[in-house]
Amino acid sequence: MKQTVLVTGAHGFVASALIARLSRDDVAVRCSVREGSAEVPSGVQVIANGAIDGSTDWRAALNGATAVVHCAARVHQLHEPTADALSGYRRVNRDGTLALARQAADAGTRRLIFLSSIKVNGESTPPGRPFRGDDRPAPLDPYAVSKWEAEQELRLLAASTGLEVVVIRPPLVYGPGVKANFRAMMKSLRWGIPLPFGAVHNRRSLVCVSNLIDLVLVCLHHPDASGRTFLVSDGQDLSTTELLQRTTRALGRNSRLIPVSERLLRQAFALFGREGLAHRLLDSLEVDIDDTCRILGWQPPLGVDQALVDTVQHYLRSEGRSVGASG
């Protein structure tokens, strides 16, 4: 029988790429959006589910679904008000996820894959101590706390219903169509803006969207995936300096990175009240994917340099340019 997969949050970066991949693989795909419609491949059914919280009715979306990939979430927002922020994240990321899982179990759905976050493990890693899937969680911000609480509720539900739950905790996801800070970085590098990050020696794990989706597809079927938490990355950690250099090379440009000491950079960020940005650019955050690869017999299929080229090419096409074009 042909598998029917429900993907939530169809407007999102990861979900839209997953829907496209499943469609190419001739999987019956259904997707949910909060309201309206979504640009999806031909044959993909779109169902509006309304706002996500503990009272969301997922029954129409779940009807006949053999598996769910839950991508929809209230994501981390910079500079958002802190007053009662946790309750907003809990409403969507914990309560909305649990409502979906309960109704999936009632509908006879076999497996639910929950896209969590590496932030459940923490915000940074010391040298030589990457995060592992069995580490004691240490979420710090409301987004991460809500994701960790959702993971715990899903485990309890799985134990009482038999729903097969798989948790994936990705770090920063990039790839064709990426927005936000990664796109802003490419824009700065494309225009040759000098950046003071020529001497940063941290180590950061990233995952391109195609590698993340490849792991999701494995987790949809693999018998040993159920009940486990998997960390994921490209398998090659980079410093901020190396990431900028490789992205610049993918753009066909010459690097214009100024070697400023990390101590001075942290002082400058603190002066302007941007300590959070300093942590993301200067601290290390490494993940160990050895267990993921061993248990699932999986390896990231795409290398970092090719993933960056693919990302850059998509960005330049969206800007009406080609790789190596001047301007």
pLDDT in tens, 30-72: 988 887 666 777 777 788 888 899 999 999 999 999 999 999 9
What DSSP string describes 183-244?
HHHHHHHHTT--BS-TT----B-EEEHHHHHHHHHHHHH-TTTTT-EEE---S--B-HHHHH
Please say if the pLDDT value at position 279 is more than 80.
yes
pLDDT above 50 for 185 = yes
Residue 323 has pLDDT above 70, yes or no: no
Provide the annotated active-site residues: 143
* pTM listed for this prediction: 0.93
Distance of alpha carbon 171 from alpha carbon 119, whole angstroms: 8
pLDDT computed for residue 37 by the predictor? 64
pLDDT tens-digit series, residues 85-123: 889 999 999 999 999 999 999 999 999 999 999 999 999
Closest to 21 measured CA to CA, from 207, 306, 233, 220: 220
> What are the residue ranges of helices labelled H in 25-117?
59-62, 85-89, 97-107
How many residues does this entry show for the chain? Answer: 327
Angle value at C-alpha 13, between 34 and 120, nearest 5 degrees: 90
> Which run of H or of E encompasses 174?
strand 172-174
Lowest-pLDDT choice from 117-121, 270-274, 303-307: 270-274
Kindly tell me if the per-residue pLDDT of 324 is higher than 50: no
* Beta carbons within 8 Å of 67's beta carbon, 6+ residues apart: 3, 4, 5, 6, 109, 110, 111, 112, 113, 220
Whole-angstrom Cα distance, residue 122 to residue 84? 21
Q: Which tokens belong to 197?
A: 């990050």
pLDDT value of position 321? 61
